[in-house]
Structure 1
Amino acid sequence: MTETQIQLVQSSWEKCIPIADTAASLFYSKLFELDPSLKPLFKSDIKEQGKKLMTMITTAVRGLSNLEAIVGAVQDMGRRHAGYGVKEEHYETVGSALIWTLKKGLGDDFDEATEEAWVATYTLLASTMKDAAAEAA
């Protein structure tokens, strides 16, 4: 990832924070629309899960400038998700739901460069999580 991509992701995410509850709701609605079989993986209150999701994304996004500081936490999350039943193919669906949510929430502020930056970010984080999950298996 380039410094410009990191800045695009960080600045666009800051615009999402004020609408975090709505963004989380949009995300999970889209996720379950794309793959209804994922719904049973979320056993707790979905609003509470949404808050955790937004907090996790905020932490990851703010840590992009110092990846070494967040890689351990991202790896731990990958191992935990494997324990919850998340499979490698689920990451693509999650990525699609995330990009769709960002487009919907940011509108015209989600231009092509911003989308490319988010795809690069998600790919990096998801790969780190999947690798850690595979090592733990």
Structure 2
Amino acid sequence: MTDWKILAIKHSWSTLLLDSEAAGALFYEKLFALDPSLRSLFKHSIEEQSKKLMDMLTLMIVNLQSMDKIKEEINALAKRHEQYGTRPEHYQTLGIALMQTLEIQLADQWSPELAESWQEVYTIWTEAMIH
């Protein structure tokens, strides 16, 4: 990833974090609208799950320049998701829900260039999770 793309992602994420509860709730609303069967994979309240999601994404975004530092955490996350019943094909649906959430939450800040940056980083994360 280029430095510009990393900076764009970090800046947009900091904007989104101003209302992280709304962003997390919207993500799960979009996710379950895309695939209602995924709801059964989540045992915790959506509020609790949303906080975990936002925390993990923040960790991953903070470490974009040094993903190798959190490789073990990503591997552990991937194993947990596999135990929960997440299948490789679910990551495409998650990516669509994430992109929809970002587009809505970032509104005027959203652009084709920012969408491309987010798609690139999501692909990197997905490949690390599925390995």
If the length of structure 1 is used for normalisation, what is the TM-score?
Answer: 0.93
Aligned residue pairs total 131
Which letter maps to 2:80?
R
Q: Could you list the runs of 4 or more consecutive aligned residues of structure 1 that deviate by over 2 angstroms after TM superposition?
A: none
Q: Distance in 1 between matches of 2:46 and 2:64?
A: 27
Q: CA deviation digits over 1:47-101, x for unaligned, max 9?
A: 0100010000101001001111122211211111001000000000000000000
Which letter maps to 2:42?
F
Q: Distance in 2 between matches of 1:12 and 1:49?
A: 22
| TM alignment of 1:29-68, pairs within 5 A | 29-68=29-68
Which letter maps to 2:12?
S
If the length of structure 2 is used for normalisation, what is the TM-score?
Answer: 0.98
Q: Does residue 80 of structure 2 align to residue 83 of structure 1?
A: no
Q: Distance in 1 between matches of 2:83 and 2:100?
A: 26
Hey, what does 1:2 align to over in structure 2?
2
Q: Distance in 2 between matches of 1:84 and 1:109?
A: 34
Q: Distance in 1 between matches of 2:57 and 2:77?
A: 12
Deviation at 1:22? Answer: 0.1
> Percent identity, aligned pairs only?
39
| TM alignment of 1:1-137, pairs within 5 A | 1-131=1-131
Secondary structure at 2:81's aligned position in 1? Answer: helix
Secondary structure at 1:28's aligned position in 2? Answer: helix
Structure 1 segments unaligned to the other structure (5+ residues): 132-137
Q: Distance in 2 between matches of 1:112 and 1:70?
A: 28
Q: Distance in 1 between matches of 2:31 and 2:59?
A: 21
Q: CA RMSD in A?
A: 0.7
